[in-house]
């Protein structure tokens, strides 16, 4: 009886720390049925989703992706969400690079990366291929969706964006940026002018980078900030994406 009480106290402690049923089972060596029954018999509902730890890099990927090509999907029947990331054939290795951040935390959906071919005479080859993968459902993604899609339409939540660091900036740039004639630019045509101006202020405040809002709401990096910008993003640029860095900078 004492041993059982000790186990119950351990189940309760881990539950209160946010551990899921799977995690408690794995660390205590007891079955999920044993843990679940013990908690439910005392009026406690086990947590379904794993507690995530050491997710600073993942949060940077999420922030950069929310600024770029990422999308948070809400489950049709349920309160939680998952993330979808899509890229073309040229960026397949970049998609694999992103996926590793989710794999590390066991957040990637089991089906892996899938290819979809859209056949149409709109394309020069008569078709275009898109590669995508979905994450698993998790409350973390629900938090992002709540902030970035308050009315099912993407807006910028600057509370989250304040946490952007070099990795998040690199993800955003690799998603939507490109080398231009003498510097770099980021395509932000989907954002409101007010949002673009706030982004310029944020990038100046966080990184001392000087961007300007150009025609069609494209962010242009002033040449005086090129070296500083490259030092921030290049450490996070995989080899397959170095074509987005000015010649001679790597």
pLDDT digits (tens, 9 = 90+) for 62-78: 999 999 989 999 887 76
- Co-location of 90 and 172 in the same domain: yes
Contact yes or no for 176/67 (Cβ under 8 A):
yes
Contact yes or no for 218/187 (Cβ under 8 A):
yes
- Co-location of 161 and 221 in the same domain: yes
Query: Which pLDDT band holds residue 91 (cuts at 50, 70, 90)?
Result: very high
Q: Is the pLDDT of residue 23 over 80?
A: yes
- Co-location of 105 and 209 in the same domain: yes
Residue 169 lies in a domain: yes
Q: Which domain holds residue 31?
A: 2-40
Backbone torsions φ then ψ of 75, nearest 5 degrees? -60, 135
Residue 145 lies in a domain: yes
What is the percentage of the chain residues whose pLDDT exceeds 90? 62
Q: What local confidence, expressed as pLDDT, does residue 62 receive?
A: 96
Q: What local confidence, expressed as pLDDT, does residue 224 receive?
A: 97
What is the percentage of the chain residues whose pLDDT exceeds 70? 98
Q: Which pTM value belongs to this model?
A: 0.86
- Co-location of 28 and 100 in the same domain: no
Q: Is the pLDDT of residue 1 over 60?
A: no
Q: What local confidence, expressed as pLDDT, does residue 78 receive?
A: 66
**Mean pLDDT score across all residues of the chain:** 90
- Co-location of 142 and 81 in the same domain: yes
- Co-location of 87 and 10 in the same domain: no
As for how many domains the chain has, the answer is 2
- Co-location of 80 and 34 in the same domain: no
Contact yes or no for 207/63 (Cβ under 8 A):
no
Residue 249 lies in a domain: no
- Co-location of 133 and 25 in the same domain: no
87-96: average pLDDT:
94
SS (HEC) of 172-238:
HHHHHEEECCCCEEECCCCCCHHHHHHHHHHHHHHHCCCEEECHHHCEEECHHHHHHHHHHHHHHCC
- Co-location of 60 and 139 in the same domain: yes
The CATH number given to whatever domain includes residue 172 is 3.10.28.10
Q: What local confidence, expressed as pLDDT, does residue 47 receive?
A: 78
């Amino acid at each position: 009886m004492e041993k059982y009480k000790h186990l119950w106290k351990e189940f309760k402690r881990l539950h209160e720390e946010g551990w899921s049923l799977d995690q408690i089972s794995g660390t205590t060596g007891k079955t999920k049925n044993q843990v679940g029954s013990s908690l439910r018999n005392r009026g406690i509902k086990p947590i379904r989703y794993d507690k995530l730890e050491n997710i600073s890099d993942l949060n940077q990927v999420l922030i950069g992706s929310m600024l770029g090509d990422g999308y948070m999907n809400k489950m049709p029947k349920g309160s939680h969400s998952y993330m979808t990331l899509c890229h073309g054939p040229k960026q397949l290795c970049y998609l694999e690079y992103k996926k590793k951040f989710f794999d590390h935390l066991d957040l990637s959906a089991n089906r892996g990366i899938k290819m979809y071919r859209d056949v149409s005479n709109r394309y020069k080859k008569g078709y275009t291929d898109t590669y995508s993968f979905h994450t698993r459902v998790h409350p973390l993604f629900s938090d992002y969706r709540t902030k970035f899609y308050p009315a099912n339409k993407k807006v910028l939540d600057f509370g989250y964006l304040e946490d952007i660091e070099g990795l998040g900036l690199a993800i955003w740039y690799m998603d939507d940026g490109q080398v231009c004639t003498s510097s770099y630019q980021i395509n932000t045509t989907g954002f409101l002018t007010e949002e673009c101006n706030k982004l310029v202020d944020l990038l100046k405040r966080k990184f001392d980078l000087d961007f300007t809002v150009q025609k069609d709401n494209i962010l242009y990096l002033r040449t005086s900030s090129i070296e500083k910008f490259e030092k921030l993003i290049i450490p996070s640029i995989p080899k397959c994406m170095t074509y987005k860095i000015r010649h001679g900078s790597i």
